[in-house]
């Protein structure tokens, strides 16, 4: 565990390094310069910016000369070069951990989980604002809270925390939420057990008091011992009656909404206890892009963008949002080697007709898993070469009243720039169906 250093401690700490200059790395650099510190700049793949040293071209040696290295979350603490720095006495820190060490923790809520954390954070922020609370929403979603341009006088900070960021945190706020738990990012963490330990570490760091957790996640119940001193279990039924104005689809999103409200109540937002006030606050929620969002309806067929789904857990939840409807689901993308058996079993158990259209690069493995699980009626499997062709075939099958669902259970790397690019391609293919070109 990193020591509880804050940004305010770094001015007198000796030489400081910044390792990684992505979005958070640039925020780290800006914050250090605000503190009057000009750090050593190192990146694994530096661009042409002056003064940035490649890690493998002398950068690691320069970092070894530092007292503290503020690293970007994408750099794993389990990497050999990171371990080598620690062995030489260098303190590895992360921007979020440095911020929490100085923050008014009784006015901070941290939200983590394999999936659902962005929706939960955005709903909590929307509700808080509607209830008259000056709220900052950020972290893994939006801006880092320590960005020099971020407000420093909010009533409440609601912070999304990834498993990567959690390893850099030494202290936690009293209220932490966990939305779900499923194996992910095993290449970064090294093992399934390490991922669970790192992801849930926020709930037991010094300062943590209450964990608000999904009552409908079996793995969280199995790992209760890692969830801190007190757990408040929250289920989808607690979203009944007030959450409809949010416009969220699926039981899993009802859980996310219920957790969002529960963290506000637990953190002392008394207005969040009133059903009428919360229902009114829920109105106008804009939703998040590529998270189970209806983007078009063509000849009675709904096209639903869930491009941000990169694992089996959100894809299963996305399909379950349409329990009695025909669903054509587009699956596959960058192959991380994850186990698609649970997804195949889940789809094969569906009662409503289902068409699984699998796409490169992991599509063949998904199709193999579906066929091994006994997919047949009501599940049909079609291997496709590209997204536009898959969408056209899905549309023809889903008419007149079905759903075409992009929920790939895989990242977008390789075939697309990112999940947004994949979502845009899906939207273009849906539009082509509407013009008769699909």
CA–CA dist 173, 187 (Å, integer): 28
At 438 the pLDDT is 43
What are the residue ranges of CATH 3.40.1190.10 in the chain? 103-282
Contacts of 350 (CB under 8 A, 6+ apart): 319, 327, 378, 379
Q: Whole-number mean pLDDT of the chain?
A: 94
CA–CA dist 180, 223 (Å, integer): 12
CATH 3.40.50.720 fits 7-94, yes or no: yes
8 Å CB contact between 226 and 200: yes
Query: What fold does the segment set 103-282 form as a domain?
Result: 3.40.1190
Cα-Cα-Cα-Cα dihedral sign, residues 205, 208, 209, 214: negative
Cα angle 283-284-289, degrees, rounded to a multiple of 5:
130
Nearest residue to 425 via CA among 359, 381, 370: 359
pLDDT tens by residue, 90-130: 999 999 999 999 999 999 999 999 989 999 999 999 999 99
At 374 the pLDDT is 78
CATH 1.20.120.550 fits 293-434, yes or no: no
What are the residue ranges of CATH 3.40.50.720 in the chain? 7-94
pLDDT tens by residue, 267-313: 999 999 999 999 999 999 999 999 999 999 999 999 999 999 998 98
CA–CA dist 219, 198 (Å, integer): 15
Quick one: how far is CA 20 from the chain centroid?
Answer: 20
pLDDT tens by residue, 317-342: 999 999 999 999 999 999 988 899 99
Question: Residue 139 pLDDT more than 60?
Answer: yes
């Amino acid at each position: 565990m990193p020591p509880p250093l804050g940004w305010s401690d770094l001015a007198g700490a000796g030489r400081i390094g910044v390792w990684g200059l992505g979005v958070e790395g640039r925020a780290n650099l800006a914050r250090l310069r605000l503190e009057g510190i000009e750090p050593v700049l190192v990146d694994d793949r530096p661009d042409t910016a002056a003064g940035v040293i490649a890690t493998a071209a002398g950068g690691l040696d320069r970092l070894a000369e530092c007292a503290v290295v503020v690293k970007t979350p994408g750099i794993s603490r389990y990497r050999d070069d990171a371990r080598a720095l620690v062995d030489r006495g260098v303190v590895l820190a992360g921007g979020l951990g440095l911020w929490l060490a100085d923050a008014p923790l009784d006015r901070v809520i941290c939200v983590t989980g394999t999936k659902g954390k962005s929706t939960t954070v955005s709903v909590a922020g929307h509700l808080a604002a509607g209830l008259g609370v000056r709220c900052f929403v950020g972290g893994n979603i939006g801006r880092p809270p320590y960005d020099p341009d971020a407000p420093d006088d909010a009533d409440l900070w609601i912070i999304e925390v990834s498993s990567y960021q959690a390893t850099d945190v030494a202290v936690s706020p009293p209220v932490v939420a966990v939305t779900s738990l499923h194996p992910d990012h095993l290449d970064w963490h090294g093992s399934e057990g390490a991922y669970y330990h790192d992801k849930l570490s926020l709930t037991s760091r010094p300062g943590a008091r209450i964990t608000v957790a999904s009552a409908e996640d079996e793995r969280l119940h199995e790992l209760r011992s890692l969830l801190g001193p007190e757990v408040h279990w929250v289920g989808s039924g607690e979203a009944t009656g007030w959450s409809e104005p949010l416009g969220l689809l699926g039981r899993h999103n009802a859980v996310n909404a219920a957790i969002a409200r529960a963290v506000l109540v637990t953190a002392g937002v008394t207005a969040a206890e009133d059903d009428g006030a919360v229902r009114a606050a829920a109105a106008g929620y804009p939703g998040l892009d590529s998270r189970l969002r209806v983007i078009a309806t063509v000849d009675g067929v709904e096209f639903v963008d869930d491009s941000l789904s990169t694992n089996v857990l959100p894809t299963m939840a996305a399909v379950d949002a349409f329990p009695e409807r025909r669903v054509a689901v587009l699956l596959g993308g960058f192959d991380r080697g994850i186990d698609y058996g649970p997804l195949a079993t889940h789809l094969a158990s569906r009662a409503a007709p289902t068409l699984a259209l699998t796409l490169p690069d992991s599509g063949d493995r998904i199709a193999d898993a579906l066929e091994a699980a006994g997919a047949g009626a009501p599940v049909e499997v079609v291997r496709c070469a590209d997204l536009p062709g898959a969408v056209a075939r899905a549309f023809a099958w889903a008419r007149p009243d079905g759903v075409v669902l992009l929920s790939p259970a895989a990242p977008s790397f390789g075939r697309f720039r990112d999940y947004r690019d994949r979502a845009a391609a899906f939207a273009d293919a849906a539009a082509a169906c509407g013009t008769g070109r699909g």
